[in-house]
Structure 1
Amino acid sequence: MSMPVSDSAVLPLQIAVLAKLGADAELMALAKGVFDWVKEGQAYPYVVIGDSVETPDNTHDSHGSVTVITLHVWSKYRGYAQALTIAARLRALLEHRPLTIAGHRHVATYFVSQQTLTDPEPPGDIRHVPVSFRVLTQVSP
Structure 2
Amino acid sequence: MSLAFAPTQKAILDRLRGDGNITSLLNKADKQSGIYDYVTESTPYPYVVVGEPSIDPFGVKNNDVADLTVTLHIWSNYKGNSEAYKILSAVHEAFIYKLAVTGYKTIKTSYSDARVFTDIDGIHRHGVFTLKISLEKEK
TM-score (norm 1): 0.89
Where does residue 23 of structure 2 map in the other structure? 28
Report the more deviating stretch, 108-117 or 71-80.
108-117
Indicate which of 125, 128, 132 corresponds to 2:126.
128
Where does residue 50 of structure 1 map in the other structure? 51
Amino acid at match of 1:125: I
Q: Which structure 2 residues correspond to residues 2-81 of structure 1 after superposition, within 5 A?
A: 6-32=1-27, 33-81=34-82
Amino acid at match of 2:93: A
> How far 1:40 sits from its partner (Å)?
3.5
Q: Which structure 2 residues correspond to residues 111-122 of structure 1 after superposition, within 5 A?
A: 111-121=111-121
Q: Which runs of 5+ in 1 are unaligned?
A: 1-5
Q: Which runs of 5+ in 2 are unaligned?
A: 28-33
Question: In proportion to residue count, which structure has more strand?
Answer: 2
Determine if the alignment matches structure 1 residue 106 to structure 2 residue 101.
Answer: no
Instruction: Determine what percentage of the aligned residue pairs are the same residue.
Output: 27
Q: Distance in 1 between matches of 2:40 and 2:120?
A: 21
Contact 1:9 1:65 in 2 (8 A): no
**Alignment root-mean-square deviation, CA:** 1.2
Structure 1 runs of 4+ aligned residues shifted over 6 Å read none
Number of residue-to-residue matches in the alignment: 133
Q: 1:72-94 deviations in whole A, cap 9, x for unaligned?
A: 00000111110111000111011
TM-score (norm 2): 0.90
